[in-house]
Structure 1
Amino acid sequence: MLEMLLTLFLVSSIILISVPHIPEYRHSSTEDELKNLSYLYQGAQMNALAKNQSFTVFMNYDKQTVEVRNRERHLVSHYSLTACRLEDYGLKQFTYRNNGDTSAFGTVYLSCDKDSVKFIFQILKGRFRIES
């Protein structure tokens, strides 16, 4: 009985010490937004490879959305930006071909809080990197 109380005391103490240090989740944070955009681009590329058809990614600067459409121009997926803002210059659209390559290369510019973030797409490789 004493051992059980001692164990309960230790576990309670550890929980009380660690709970204040758990980071607070911030809804619509810049980091989450960049991850979501990254997943959207990767998802479009994986769809192109899996379905063996091309998918076009559009950056809509007026609505602040990124849209993925298939060959028939039907909307496959889209993401509305909340924490960041698409800048009017840079890459406006590109296509993931059925082999996963991109039809264009360039940069998608975002302004997140006071930072400038760039999604840089490599020539024909279908790969991108994020710079801030």
Structure 2
Amino acid sequence: MLEMLLVLFIVSILMSLTFIKLPDYNSHSQEDEIQNISYLLQGAQMSALSNQQSYTVSFHKYNNTITVRDSSRKIIKNYTLKLCKLNDYGLTSYSYKKNGDTTAFGTVYLSCQKKNIRIIMQIQKGRFRIEQ
């Protein structure tokens, strides 16, 4: 019993110290930029699940960035869009709860090289889909 408790204690410490490292890519195309955004959103959701705390994703239209913050408001990841531009309308922020669900339903609108992209957020299970 003590061995099992010790193993669980060590695993829980390792999980609390681990933040899912998202790969940094140099965006050379619209598809790369959209894939980076997808990785960022999935990483925020996985971090919320593994760390059992909420994460907030904010879309800043004026400086064209997407920011992920933990429950203490510390910036975890700040991604600056290179080829795409956030539009002035649509969802501006949402949070991932501890169970991976989101707190908002809505759409984020992007303009990528004369093409309109929509990221549609769903509340249950934090699902999102990207439409081009």
Shift of 1:27: 5.0
Partner of 2:96 in structure 1?
Answer: 96
How many Å separate the matches in 1 of 2:42 and 2:75?
A: 16
Aligned residue in 1 for 2:16: none
Correspondences of 1:42-53 after superposition (within 5 Å): 42-53=42-53
**Ranges in structure 1 where 5+ consecutive residues have no aligned partner:** 1-25
**Residue pairs, 1:1-132, within 5 angstroms:** 27-132=27-132
Structure 1 moving runs of 4+ over 6 Å: none
User: Do the aligned partners of residues 131 and 75 (structure 1) sit closer, same or farther apart at CA in structure 2, a change above 3 Å counting?
Assistant: same
User: In structure 2, what is the Cα distance between the partners aligned to 1:68 and 1:105?
Assistant: 17
Q: Displacement, 1:28?
A: 2.6
Counterpart residue identity of residue 65, structure 2: T
* TM-score between the two structures when normalised by the length of structure 2: 0.78
Identity %: 52
Q: Unaligned stretches of 5+ in structure 2?
A: 1-25
- Give 1 or 2 for the bigger CA radius of gyration: 1
- Say whether the 8 Å CA contact 1:104–1:124 is kept in structure 2: no
- Please, what is the CA RMSD of the aligned residues? 1.2
- Residues 38 and 27 (structure 1), Cα distance of their counterparts in 2 relative to 1, 3 Å cut: closer
Please give the per-residue CA displacement for 1:32-90, whole angstroms capped at 9, x wherever unaligned: 00000000000000000000000000001111000000111100011100010000100
